[in-house]
């Protein structure tokens, strides 16, 4: 394959930074470390069974095969978490990290300097799909640490991470699909990069990604329909009614069970994704996690002209109450998400 004149991720980041003459380059360096972690995970995923990282994680001395979510960890959940930590703890760019796979914030070891950013991640999203060779990904969110953390270099606490999604400095995901892609926003639209496996570089292949405002595609786990709240049931029923129903058009349905892959389909061609709050388990107000799933994907959607919501309010406006807080999530084509919000606000 001839060397094209496409930008690399590094070039894209440097050109973005030129818009802020005073910027130190710390954010760019951090994003490149995250991208390297994603490349390493992409390799582990690509080797599949040959790499010995498939299947459930083996219990460690502390019985650590069940994570804080109550989920059985896959070996690759654990490996990917480790890759994110090792690639990022040393750099002096981070004040702390938090992950789906760790109950408490990760403190930067004393042997390394501390920096001004917080990195929050879902190291492997869709991990129930890993053993059946269906796309998975990694999702990340970058926040600025509170000023007193930056000044004092103290250990981070859960409270330091509880910032609304609107404050994210950058967010993105890597998708380990037929090709590995990195979708990124540093707050100036969304750019997509495809991993060139020959060069080991993410190359800019999708600039200024936009989510169409209208769609005929929706994604929801319909096995939960008996637990849905009336506005969600109404919306889905109307889609299912097709061309002769109130929507006057036929809809198609998709469910991959890797949110990151659903988000990618929607960024590429529109659609609406719902994992709404439901009545299945009153102790869980939704399935997906606010800080490392809903917020970064919400940031990308909004930056691409789409919309992300709890069903009732914009996701990015929610003040988090816990590191692993779950939340109802609806995102995608703007007009559909607004319609779903309208149904939630209209009296039944």
**Residue 88 to residue 53: CA distance in whole angstroms:** 21
Instruction: Compare residues 100 and 160 and give the one whose CB is closer to ligand AHG.
Output: 100
Helix (H, G, I), strand (E, B) or coil at 169: coil
Q: Using alpha carbons, select from 116, 125, 121 the residue that is nearest to residue 106.
A: 121
CB of residue 259 to Mn ion, shortest distance in Å: 6
Cβ–Cβ < 8 Å for 42, 180: yes
What, of Mn ion, ligand AHG, none, does residue 278 touch, CB below 5 to 8 Å by kind?
none
Helix (H, G, I), strand (E, B) or coil at 259: helix
CB of residue 291 to Mn ion, shortest distance in Å: 11
**Residue 122 to residue 80: CA distance in whole angstroms:** 9
- Which range touches ligand AHG (CB under 6 A), out of 4-12, 186-194, 253-261, 308-316? 253-261
**Residue 200 to residue 84: CA distance in whole angstroms:** 18
CB of residue 222 to ligand AHG, shortest distance in Å: 10
Binding pattern for the stretch 121-150 against ligand AHG, x by CB under 6 A and - elsewhere = -x--xxxx----------------------
Rounded to 10 deg, the angle between the 26-47 and 9-17 helix axes is 160
Q: Which of 16, 33, 89, 100 binds ligand AHG (CB under 6 A)?
A: 100
What, of ligand AHG, Mn ion, none, does residue 257 touch, CB below 5 to 8 Å by kind?
ligand AHG
E strands, the chain, are: 94-99, 106-107, 117-125, 136-144, 170-176, 180-185, 191-196, 201-206, 217-219, 252-253, 272-275, 288-289, 307-309, 326-327, 329-332
Does residue 258 touch ligand AHG according to CB under 6 A? yes
Question: Residue ranges of the alpha helices (H) in the chain?
Answer: 9-17, 26-47, 75-88, 147-152, 158-161, 230-241, 259-269, 295-303, 334-345
CB of residue 259 to ligand AHG, shortest distance in Å: 4
CB of residue 81 to Mn ion, shortest distance in Å: 9
CB of residue 257 to ligand AHG, shortest distance in Å: 4
First-last CA distance in the chain: 58
Helix (H, G, I), strand (E, B) or coil at 109: coil
Instruction: Compare residues 117 and 173 and give the one whose CB is closer to Mn ion.
Output: 173
What, of Mn ion, ligand AHG, none, does residue 221 touch, CB below 5 to 8 Å by kind?
ligand AHG
What, of ligand AHG, Mn ion, none, does residue 258 touch, CB below 5 to 8 Å by kind?
ligand AHG
- Annotated binding-site residues for Mg(2+) read 100, 122, 124-125, 293
Binding annotation: 100, 122, 124-128, 221, 293
| Contact positions vs ligand AHG (CB under 6 A) | 71, 100, 122, 125-128, 221, 257-259, 275, 287
């Amino acid at each position: 394959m001839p060397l094209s004149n496409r930008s690399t991720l590094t070039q894209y980041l440097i050109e973005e930074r030129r818009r802020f003459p005073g910027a130190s380059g710390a954010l760019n360096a951090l994003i490149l470390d995250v991208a390297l972690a994603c490349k390493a995970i992409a390799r582990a995923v690509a080797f599949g069974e040959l790499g010995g990282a498939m299947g459930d994680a083996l219990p460690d001395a502390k019985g650590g095969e069940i994570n804080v979510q109550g989920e059985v960890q896959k070996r690759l959940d654990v490996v990917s978490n480790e890759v994110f930590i090792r690639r990022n703890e040393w750099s002096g760019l981070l004040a702390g990290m938090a992950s789906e796979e760790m109950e408490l914030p990760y403190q930067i070891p004393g042997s390394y300097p501390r920096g001004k950013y917080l990195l929050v991640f879902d190291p492997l999203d869709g991990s129930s799909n890993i053993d059946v060779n269906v796309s998975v990904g990694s999702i990340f969110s970058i926040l600025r640490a509170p000023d007193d953390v930056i000044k004092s270099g103290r250990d981070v606490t859960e409270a330091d991470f509880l910032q609304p999604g609107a404050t994210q400095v950058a967010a993105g995901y890597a998708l380990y699909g037929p090709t590995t892609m990195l979708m990124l926003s540093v707050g100036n639209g969304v750019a997509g990069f495809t991993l060139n496996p020959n060069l080991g570089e993410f190359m800019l292949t999708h600039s200024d990604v936009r989510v169409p405002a209208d769609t005929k595609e929706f994604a929801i786990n319909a096995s939960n329909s008996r637990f849905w709240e009336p506005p969600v049931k109404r919306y889905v029923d109307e889609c299912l009614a097709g061309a002769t129903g109130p929507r006057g058009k036929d809809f198609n349905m998709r469910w991959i069970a890797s949110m990151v892959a659903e988000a990618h389909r929607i960024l590429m061609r529109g659609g609406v994704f719902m994992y709404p709050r439901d009545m299945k388990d009153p102790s869980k107000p939704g399935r997906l996690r606010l800080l490392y799933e809903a917020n970064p994907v919400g940031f990308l959607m909004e930056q691409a002209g789409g919309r992300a919501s709890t069903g009732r309010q914009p996701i990015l406006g929610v003040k988090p109450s816990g590191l692993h807080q779950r939340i109802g999530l609806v995102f995608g084509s703007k007009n559909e998400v607004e319609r779903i919000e309208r149904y939630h606000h209209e009296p039944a």
